Amino acid sequence: MKKGIALTILALLFAWQMISTFAIQRFPKPEFESGYITPETLLPSPRAEILEVLDVAVLLLALSVVTWAVLKRRSRNLVFWISVFSLAYFGFYREGCVCSIGAIQNVTMALFNGSYIIPWTVLVFFMAPLLFTLIFGRTFCAGVCPFGALQDLISWQPRTIGPRLNAVLGIIPYIYLGLAVLYAATGTDFIICRYDPFVGIFRLNATFGMFLFAGVLLLSGLFLARPYCRFLCPYGVLLNWVSRFSKYHLTITPSVCIQCRLCEDSCPYEAIEKPVTVKNPDSRKRMVRKFMLIVLLSPFFMLLGGWTGSHIHESLARVNGKVRMAEEILHPKRIAGQSETIEMTAFKASGKPAKELYAEVTGILREFYIGGWILGGFVGLTIGGLLAGRLITRYRTDFEPNRGTCFSCARCVDYCPVKTGTGSIEL
Partner 1 sequence: MNRMKPSKQTIQLLNRIALISGIVAFILCILIIANYIQVKRIDPLNTPAMTVLLDRLKSNPGDDALRTEIRELDLLSRKAFFTSWWQIRTGGYILLACVLVIVICLKWIELIRPKIPPPPEPVKEDFWDQRKTRQRWIIYTGIFLVAGSLILAWLTYTEIGKTLYRQEIARQGTDSRQATDSLERGPDIELTINQLQRTGGQDSTPVTGTDSESDATQSGTTPGNADLEEQSNGPQQAFPSREEILSNAMTFRGPDANGVVNGKNFPVSWNGTTGTNVRWKTAIPLSGNNSPIVWKNRVFLTGASTTKREVYCIDAGTGKILWQTDVSAIPGTPSTAPKVDRETGLAAPTMTTDGQRTYAIFATGDLVALDMEGKLAWGKNLGLPKNHYGYSSSLIMYRNLLIVQWDQAEGASVKAFDGTTGKLIWNTPRDVKLSWASPILVNTGNRMELILSADPCVVSYDPASGKELWRVDCIYGEVGPSLAYAGGYVFVTNEYARLAAIKLGNPPQIAWESTDYLSDIPSPVASDDYLFLVTSYGVVVCHNAKTGEEYWVKELDNSVYSSPVLVDGLVYLLDKTGIMHIFKAGKVYQPVGEATLGEGSVCTPAFAGGRIFIRGEKNLYCIGN
Q: With CB under 8 A as the contact rule, which of the stretches 53-61, 104-112, 229-237, 380-388 interacts with partner 1?
A: 380-388
Residue 107 Cβ, how far from partner 1 at the closest point, in Å? Answer: 26
Looking at the chain, the number of H-run helices and the number of E-run strands are 20, 2
Residue span binding partner 1 (CB under 8 A) among the ranges 52-60, 82-90, 185-193, 387-395: 387-395
Q: Applying CB under 8 A, does 271 fall inside the site for partner 1?
A: no
The residues in 210-239 that bind partner 1, with binding defined as CB under 8 A, are 211, 218, 222
Alpha-carbon distance 79 to 320, whole Å?
41
Binding residue for partner 1 (CB under 8 A) from 34, 115, 277, 350? 277
CB of 154 to partner 1, least distance (A): 5
> Would you say the C-alpha torsion 204, 206, 212, 216 has a positive or negative sign?
negative
Does residue 264 touch partner 1 according to CB under 8 A? yes
Residue 68 DSSP class: I
**Binding residue (CB under 8 A) for partner 1 from 379, 406, 413, 418:** 379
Choices 64-72, 119-127, 236-244, 315-323; region in contact with partner 1 by CB under 8 A: 315-323
For the window 333-352, what string marks contact with partner 1 as x by the rule CB under 8 A? Answer: xx-xx--x-------x----
Residue 124 CB partners (closer than 8 Å, separation 6+): 56, 59, 60
Q: Does 52 bind partner 1 (CB under 8 A)?
A: no
Among the listed ranges 62-70, 138-146, 379-387, 402-410, the one in contact with partner 1 (CB under 8 A) is 379-387
Q: How far apart are CA 197 and CA 210, in angstroms?
A: 6
Note every long-range contact of 56-62, with CB atoms under 8 Å and residues 24 or more positions apart, other chains counting. Answer: 56/121, 56/124, 56/125, 58/89, 58/90, 59/90, 59/124, 59/125, 59/128, 59/144, 60/124, 60/128, 62/86, 62/89, 62/143, 62/144
Is residue 327 part of the contact set for partner 1 (CB under 8 A)? yes
Minimum Å gap between C-beta 117 and partner 1 is 31
The beta strands (E) that lie in 94-239 are given as none
Q: Which of 280, 397, 422, 424 contacts partner 1 by CB under 8 A?
A: 280
Q: Which of 8, 397, 422, 424 binds partner 1 (CB under 8 A)?
A: 8
Q: Which residues pair with 400 in a beta bridge?
A: 273
Measured from the CB atom, the residue of 9 and 53 that comes closer to partner 1 is 9
Rank residues 123 and 172 by Cβ distance to partner 1 and give the closer one. Answer: 172
Q: Count of CB atoms within 10 A of residue 5's CB?
A: 10
Q: Which stretch binds partner 1 (CB under 8 A): 2-10, 41-49, 99-107, 226-234?
A: 2-10
Give whichever of 126 and 378 is closer to partner 1, judged by the CB atom.
378
7 binds partner 1 (CB under 8 A): yes
Question: Contact 185/371 with Cβ under 8 angstroms?
Answer: yes
Among 329, 370, 402, 420, binds partner 1 (CB under 8 A): 329
Residue from 159, 194, 286, 318 in contact with partner 1 (CB under 8 A): 318
CA distance linking residue 389 with residue 52, whole number of Å: 41
Q: Which is nearer to partner 1, 59 or 416 (CB)?
A: 416
The count of chain residues that interact with partner 1, using the rule CB under 8 A, is 83
61-68 — which CB contacts under 8 Å span 24+ positions?
62/86, 62/89, 62/143, 62/144, 63/128, 63/129, 63/132, 63/139, 63/140, 63/144, 66/139, 66/140, 66/142, 66/143, 66/144, 67/132, 67/136, 67/139
CA–CA distances in Å: residue 177 to residues 158, 171, 181, 425: 26, 10, 6, 44
Asked if 422 interacts with partner 1 (CB under 8 A), we say: no
Closest distance between partner 1 and the C-beta of residue 13, in Å? 10
**Binder to partner 1 among 1, 24, 37, 342 (CB under 8 A)?**
1
The answer to whether the peptide bond before residue 98 is cis (omega within 30 degrees of 0) is: yes
**Which residue(s) pair with 273 in the sheet?**
400
Nearer to partner 1, 74 or 125 (CB): 74
